[in-house]
Structure 1
Amino acid sequence: MSFARLGAALCVAASFAAPAFAQSEINKPECVAPANPGGGFDLTCRIAQTGLTPHVSEPIQVTFLPGGIGAVAYNQFNTTRTDDGSAIVAFSTGSLLNIVTGKYGEFTEKDVRWVGTAGADFGAVVVRADSKYQDLKQLMDDFSADPASVVVGAGGSVGSQDWMKGALLLREAGASPTDMRYVAFDGGGDAIAALLGGSIEVYTGDVGEMVPHIEAGQMRILAVMSPERLDAPFADIPTAIEEGYNVEWTILRGFYMGGDVSDEDYQKWVDAFKAAYATEEFAQVQKEKGLLPLNMAGDELQASIEERVQRLRDIATEAGLIN
C-alpha cells in the first residue's frame, strides 16, 4: 500500500474512531424538565437532548417533574436523587431567584452541582415606537425624579424575574424598587399587548422575544441588559452599561445535578457540554431554540452561579422580598 493510500486509510479509521473517544459514557442519560411539557424548561432539555447527542454514548431522554416552578424537582434532587449520576435538571435565572426567596424550601444554591448551560436570553427595556422616551437616559431621569410617574409592566408578579429588571433600573436611578409603579401580567404576551395599547409605558421583557415586534416597527428597545453588545439583529442597540448604568440581567438557562453525584459522573457531563460548545452544530441548536450563546460548564459555571445568587440576594433584600 502506498504512503498516500495508507495515510488516507488511517485518516478514515481515525474519523470513525474519534467519536468513541470523545463521547461521555453515561448510563441512561436523562434530562428532567421541572414543569409540564412546553415552556422554558422543556426547551432547555431539548437543547441538551439534541445538542449533546454526538457527545454522549446513549440518547438523552427528557422527563417531566412539574411542581412549584421547579421546587418539586429541586427537593427531589436534594433528598432521594442526590447521587444520581445519570440525570441533569433544567434551571433558569428564575430558579435561582426562587432559591434566594425561599420558594425551594430550606435548600440553597450550595446543595446541588451546577453542570453546564444551554444558552441565554437577556433583559430588555422596551417602549412603543412612538414613546416619548428616545433613549435610556430620559427614562432613568424620570425614575430618579419621580419613580411613580412611569408605569412599568411585565409578565410576572412582584419578585419575579421581569419585576427584578425594573427594580435594578430604579436602584441604579437612585430610587427604591418599592417605589416602582408596576403592573403584573400573566405573561409577556399580555404585557406586550398592554404596552401597545398604552396602559403601560415600559416593558421589562426579554430581547429574544422582541424580534418580530421590532421588525414590524411597533416597539423600540432603549437598551439591552447584556454584559456586552449583542450581534445582529440587535447590534445597533446599546447596552444599559454602555449608556452609563450598571444594570445587567442575563436569563441563564442550564442544568444542575444532585449534590452527592461523584466527581467522575459529574465530569462526564461537564466534558460532554464542553465538547458540544466547541461545535457549530450546538450553536445552531441554540439559535433554532431562540437562545444566544452563553457557554459555561463545571467550575466556571459554579463560580458564576455563586456570584449571580449573591447579587440576587442583595437585590431581594433591598426590595424587601427577604430579610
Structure 2
Amino acid sequence: MTLARIGTALAVAMSVAAPALAQSDIRTPECVAPANPGGGFDLTCRVAQKGLEPHLTAPMQVTFMPGGIGAVAYNMFNTTRTDDASAIVAFSTGSLLNIVTGKYGAFTEQDVRWVATAGADFGAVVVRADSEYQDLAGLMADLGSDPASVVVGAGGSVGSQDWMKGALLIRETGGAPMDMRYVAFDGGGDAIAALLGGSIEVYLGDVGEMVSHLESGQMRILGVMSPERLDEPFAEIPTAIEQGFDLEWTILRGFYMGGETSDADYAKWVDAFEAAYATPEWAEVQKAQGLLPLNLAGAELEAAIADSVARLSGVASEAGLIN
C-alpha cells in the first residue's frame, strides 16, 4: 500500500561507521525540542544529550519550544537564529510532512542545515492498560462500523504525521479519514496525559516514546506500525501487519540547524555525531529509547531528506492534503 510505506528504505539503512574523533568544542550546546516535555521531540533530544556527552566539551542543555508541532522553532531558526552555532533542533518525519504541506509557512527543507539522525522509530496504536480493546482487531471493528464512536488523539493537527496514522487505520477499514473523531494536542506528552486522564481512548504515538510509560504499566500497545517485530523491550508486541492490517509508518528522527550556520560550526556537530555513531554506547542509547539504528550525518542525511520529502509529497497528494 503506497500510502502506508513512506520510509521503509530509511528504516533498513546501514549504520554509518566513523573513526573516533576528538571532542567537538561547541559552546553551551543546546538541543531544542519543539514541543512540550514527554513526547517524541523530547526523546530525540535526550538521545543527543546522552549519546553525545563524551564527544562534546560542555554538557548539552535541552530546552522546549512548543508551538505548531515544530512551526515556531522552524520559523525562529529561519529568522532570528539562522546562524546559531550552539543549537540543534529535533525533527521527525512529521516535521518533513508539515514542510511539504505548508504548515511551516513559506520555508522549505532547503532553508535549514540537516545535521544528523538520532535513529528510526515506528508508529504505535496505544490504549490505557484498562482499555476494553485487547487487540487491534477489536479497535478496527469499531472504527469500521462507527468511526465517530472512538475518540483518538495525538500530538499533531489534521494532516500531521500522527493524524496520518489514524487516517491509515480508517482507510484500512474502508472508511474516509475525515470520518475519524480526532483530537489534536501540541505534542505527544499532552496527548499521553489526555489518554491517561480518559479524554481520549486511543493514542496514535511512536514506539520510542513509550519505553518509560510501558514500564509503569499504565498503557498498552495494540500494534506497532513496523514491517516486522522489533527487539526488546517491544519483542512481545505484535505488528499491525501480522494482525492482518496493512499498516506501516516509519519515523526518521534527527536534528537540523539554522540555514546560515557556518561550514565550520556545522562540521563540529557532524563530527560529534559521527564519533558517537562509531561507539557501542550510542547504540545502547538508541536501544534504551526504543529506536533502531539509522545513523546518517552531513551530506548523507541531506540526500536522505531530499528523498524523504519527495516521497512525502506523493503521500500528501494521495491523501488530498496538497494539490
Quick check: TM above 0.5? yes
Q: Which structure 2 residue ranges, 5 or more long, are not aligned?
A: 1-18
Of Structure 1 and Structure 2, the greater helix share is in: 1
* Partner Cα distance (1:147, 1:209) in 2: 29
Q: 1:26 to 1:168 in 2, by over 3 A?
A: farther
Aligned sequence identity (%): 64
Answer whether contact 1:192 1:203 (CA < 8 A) is retained.
no
List runs of 5+ in structure 1 lacking aligned partners.
Answer: 1-19
C-alpha displacement of 1:169: 2.0
Q: Is the 8 A contact 1:78 1:258 kept in 2?
A: yes
Matches within 5 A, 1:62-81: 62=61, 64=63, 66=65, 68-69=67-68, 70-81=70-81
Once residues 221 and 96 of structure 1 are traced to their aligned partners in structure 2, the CA distance between those partners, rounded to angstroms, is 25
Q: Choose between structure 1 and 2 for higher RCO, CA contacts under 8 A separated by at least 6 residues.
A: 2
Q: Which amino acid aligns with 2:153?
A: A
Give runs of aligned pairs for residues 204-219 of structure 1, distance below 5 A: 204-208=204-208, 210=210
Residue in structure 2 matched with residue 153 of structure 1 by the alignment: 152
Q: Does the 8 Å CA contact 1:126/1:219 hold for their aligned counterparts?
A: yes
Q: CA deviation at 1:147?
A: 5.5
Counterpart residue type for residue 236 of structure 1: E
Instruction: Write the deviation string for residues 33-92 of structure 1: whole angstroms up to 9, x where unpaired.
Output: 155884454553343233213224x21543747363433432333345445554422223
1:151/1:183 contact within 8 Å kept: no
Partners in 1 of 2:195 and 2:62 — Cα distance?
31
Letter in 1 for 2:30: C
Deviates more, 1:227-236 or 1:33-42: 33-42
Amino acid at match of 1:169: L
> For the Cα contact (< 8 Å) 1:119–1:295, is it kept in 2?
yes
Tell me which residue corresponds to 1:9. Answer: none
What is the RMSD computed on CA atoms of the aligned residues? 3.8
Using the alignment, how far apart are the partners of 1:224 and 1:319 within structure 2? 22
Tell me how far 1:255 sits from its aligned partner: 0.7
The corresponding residue for 1:249 is 249
Per mean C-alpha deviation after superposition, the further-off stretch among 165-174 and 215-224 is 215-224
Deviation per CA, 1:262-283: give whole Å up to 9, x if none: 5554344223212212323223
Shift of 1:209: 5.2
Counterpart contact for 2:128–2:196, Cα < 8 Å: no
Correspondence 1:306 to 2:280: no
Q: After superposition, where does 1:29-48 map in structure 2 within 5 Å?
A: 30-35=29-34, 38-40=37-39, 41-48=41-48
For residues 101-146 of structure 1, the C-alpha deviation after alignment (integer angstroms, 9 at most, x for no partner) is 3232211122222211224543212356787766545654665x54
Counterpart amino acid of residue 271 in structure 2: D
Counterpart in the other structure of 1:5: none
Which has the larger Rg? 1
1:309–1:177 Cα change, 3 Å: farther
Post-superposition offset of 1:188: 1.4
CA gap of 1:250–1:271, structure 2 versus 1, over 3 A, is: same
Q: How many residues align?
A: 297
